Amino acid sequence: MDPDAVAPARPAPDPDSFVVLDDEAALERIRAAAAARTPFSLLRLGDGEAVLLSIDESAWLQDLEQLHRHWGAEGVTLGDVLRVRRDLEAGIADADLVGLRPDVLGVTAPDDLLARPLEETGDFVRKNFELREPGIQDLVARRLALANRVMTRLPKSPDQDYCSSWIHWEMLAHGLIDELLDAVDEVVLVTTHPELGPVVAEKFGVQAHVITVPGKFVDTGRSGVHVPTRYDQMRAELSGFAPGTLALVGAGIPGKVYCHWLKEAGCVALDVGATFDAWIGRASRTVVLRHRFGVADGRSVPADLQIVERVPDEPAVEPSSAPAARRLQGTQARLERANRQRMKAERQRDAARRELAALRGRRSVRAALAAARLFRRPFR
C-alpha cells in the first residue's frame, strides 16, 4: 500500500451539526481511498433520496409521484419502495463518504414546516435556503424542505466523512475521474449508457466491466423495469469482482444502494451520478452546467468534460481531403492513447516501488417499517 495514500485524519463531528469537508479535502479523501484499494463507498444524497427516505404511511401523494417519475407506478408496490428505502438506509450507515446538499443543510427549519400549507412551505424555502435557482415552484421547494429534514436528522458517525453532494462534478472538473482510471487496470461501470464501456476501455487502457441499468421512467416510459425487476438482479451481478476494483456508479436513486453492495464485495465504489451524461455530451443537469461550468443556457456540455467524440461544428472537410483528414485524426488518437498508456505504466511502476518500500518497513498490526399491509398495493 502506498504510505502516502493514508486517508487524512477525520475531524471529530460536532454533536449538533455535520462537519463537511471542503471540496479539496474531499477529493483527496477519494484519491487516498482509491489508492489504498480497500472497501470504500461514496454516495450522495439529494431531494430524490430524501423523498425515498421519508416514505411511510403518512407520505404525500406528491412524494410518491416523485418516485413515479423515476421508476413508474405499474409493477412497483409500496413494499418495493420500502425495501429500497431500507437498503438505502443501510448503505448510508456503512458509507465512508456521504455527500449532502449544502444549500439545505445549514438551515434550521421549523418542526412543522412540512405540515404547513404548500405555499407557506415554499415561501419559507425561497426566503431561507441558499438556492441556485430562487424562483422554484412550491412542490420543488417542499422537496428541498424534506431534504433538509432528512439530512439534518441523519445519524452522525465518527467513522464517516461528509462532503458536498455535488462532489462528483468537482471530480470531473478537476480531472480526478481520469486520474483514477489512469491508475487502474480494470473498472466497473454501472450505468444507463452501455456505449461508455468500449470508449472507456480504449481511452484509458482498462478492462471495462459494464453493468447496464434502465434509465428513469420519465425518460424511457418503461415502468417497473429498474425497480423492482432489474434491482432484484443487481446484487448478484455486483459481487464477483476482485477486491479493490474501482467502480463508478451512475444509476439514479438505486445507485446509492449499488455502491453499498459493491463495497460489501470489496470494491472502491464511487457514486458519480450524471457525470456519465456529461461524458456523452448529454446536458441533463442544466443548473450545474450554468452555475458551475458557465454554460449560459445550460443546454450543452463543455467539450473538455466529454469523452465520447461529438460531431464538430466546424465546416465539413472537402471530399478531396477527407481521407487524409481521417488518417490524421486516427494517427493523433493513436499517439494520445500511446502517451496515456506510457504515463499509466510509469505511475504503476512508481506505485509498486512505494508499496514495496512500505512493505519492507511494515509492522504487524435501523427497525423495519410496519407497512406490510400495504405491500401488495401498487402506488399511483
Predicted confidence (pLDDT) per residue in 222-261, tens digit: 888 999 999 999 999 999 999 999 999 999 999 999 999 9
- Whether residue 247 is found in the same domain as residue 124: yes
Whether residue 276 is predicted with pLDDT greater than 90 in this model: the reply is: yes
204 and 336 belong to one structural domain:
no
Domain assignment present for 234: yes
Please tell me whether residues 147 and 265 are part of one structural domain: yes
Query: Over the chain, what is the mean pLDDT?
Result: 83
Render pLDDT for 168-216 as a digit per residue (tens, 0 to 9). Answer: 999 999 999 999 999 999 999 999 999 999 999 999 999 999 999 999 8
Shared domain check, 324 and 258: no
The count of structural domains within the chain is 2
Contact (Cβ atoms closer than 8 angstroms) between residue 87 and residue 236 = no
Q: How far from 1 is each of 36, 51, 360, CA to CA, in Å?
A: 6, 40, 11
Lowest mean pLDDT among 2-6, 169-173, 310-314: 2-6
State the number of CA atoms in the 13 A half-sphere of 235 facing the CB: 9
Provide the pLDDT confidence category of residue 353 given band limits of 50, 70 and 90: low
Residue 228 shares a structural domain with residue 163 = yes
DSSP 8-state class, residue 240: -
* 268 and 325 belong to one structural domain: no
150 with 92: CB under 8 angstroms?
no
From CA 201, how far away is CA 206, in angstroms rounded?
Answer: 5
Q: Which domain holds residue 271?
A: 25-279
Portion of the chain with pLDDT greater than 70, in percent: 77
- Report H helices in the chain: 23-36, 47-54, 61-71, 78-94, 102-105, 118-128, 138-152, 167-173, 176-182, 196-204, 217-220, 231-237, 254-264, 275-279, 286-291, 322-360
Q: Where is pLDDT greater, at 355 or 300? A: 300
In this structure, is the dihedral angle defined by the CA atoms of residues 217, 222, 224 and 230, taken in order, positive or negative? negative
The answer as to whether 5 is a domain residue is no
**Upstream peptide bond of 315 is cis (omega within 30 degrees of 0):** no
Same domain? For 271 and 324 the reply is no
Q: Answer yes or no: is 292 within a domain.
A: no
Say which range, 55-64, 80-89, 155-164, 181-190, has the weakest mean pLDDT.
55-64
Q: What is the pLDDT of residue 332?
A: 54
Question: Residue 108 falls within a domain, yes or no?
Answer: yes
pLDDT of residue 25: 98
Q: What is the pLDDT of residue 2?
A: 41
Residue 1: pLDDT band (50, 70, 90) is very low
204 class by beta-carbon count within 10 Å (0-12 exposed, 13-18 middle, 19+ buried): buried
Coarse DSSP helix, strand, coil percentages of the chain, rounded to the nearest 5 percent: 50, 10, 40
Cβ atoms of residues 276 and 194 within 8 Å: no
Check whether residue 35 and residue 182 sit in a common domain: yes
Q: Domain check: are 144 and 211 in the same one?
A: yes
Tell me, yes or no, whether 147 and 273 share the same domain. Answer: yes
| Contact assessment for residue 191 and residue 210, using Cβ atoms and an 8 Å cutoff | yes
- The reply to whether 43 and 136 lie within a common domain is yes
